[in-house]
Amino acid sequence: MSDWIGKRYWIVGASEGLGRALAERLSALGIELVLSARTAGRLEELAASLPARAEVVTMDVGDTQSVRDAFAQVGEIDGMVFLAGVYWPQPAQDWNADEVEAMCDINFTGAARVLGQAVPHFVRRGHGHIVLTGSLSGFRGLPGAIGYCASKAGLMSLAESMHADLRGTGVKVQLVNPGFIRTRLTDKNEFAMPFIMDPDPAARIMVDHMMTDRFSRSFPTLFSWLFRLSQFLPEGLYYRIFAPKR
């Protein structure tokens, strides 16, 4: 779309996986990018490979001062996409306190830190575009996903509240909820992952959604219906199907 040419977007979590694939697709549309993650190496290599202008701003979303400093360096932007996340599969019986805290702190609180800088900026200016990355696992608690489900559910709820408040203000809020995407994070899973996607087709769906005025998009479509419908199941039936007693 021609009206995207010359826009400037900040991608948080751009170094690999879906973030990298999204950067490549947005750059191909003529969008200028600011790429952020904790370390510069992969970001610099990515920036050099993109067809449109891109710059690197390193940032640790787990550190408030790092986020503030990065936002000051980023400068004027038309939109931002939050994709930063960590994941360790684990049931409550194997609770790893450090890993669960990290998932909550990066996946949810990290987003809140970044939004704490971007949202007031967009609101004062009267326009902007915010895209948050939830997960199909955020619709209802799942076994073996302590920390991850909760962090994504929190992020999805945050997006809904922001959308409710900012409708009609010129600040567009969108949410994407992907299923399994083939990355170093899903490589940790030891179970079969239905409808698993490569990052590039997932990024295509994400960009297509960003070009609409719709709030949320969950995909793959057939797989997403299972999670959406699970919200309407009575508790007893839900847990018998999704988490039978061992």
CA distances (Å), origin 108, targets 148, 157, 185, 195, 240: 10, 10, 17, 25, 29
CA distance 89 to 100: 10
26 contacts 51 by C-beta, under 8 angstroms: no
148 contacts 103 by C-beta, under 8 angstroms: yes
- Give me the catalytic one of 9, 87, 148, 239: 148
Query: Is 148 considered catalytic here?
Result: yes
Residue among 70, 85, 77 at smallest CA distance from 10: 77
* 38 three-class SS: coil
Starting from the edge strand earliest in sequence, which strands make up the sheet with 216-219, in order? 54-56, 32-36, 8-12, 79-82, 128-133, 171-178, 216-219
The β-bridge partners of 217 are 176
Show Cβ contacts of residue 240 under 8 Å, excluding neighbours closer than 6 positions.
none
Residue type, 94: D
55 contacts 81 by C-beta, under 8 angstroms: no
CA distance 149 to 61: 19
Q: Tell me the catalytic residues.
A: 148
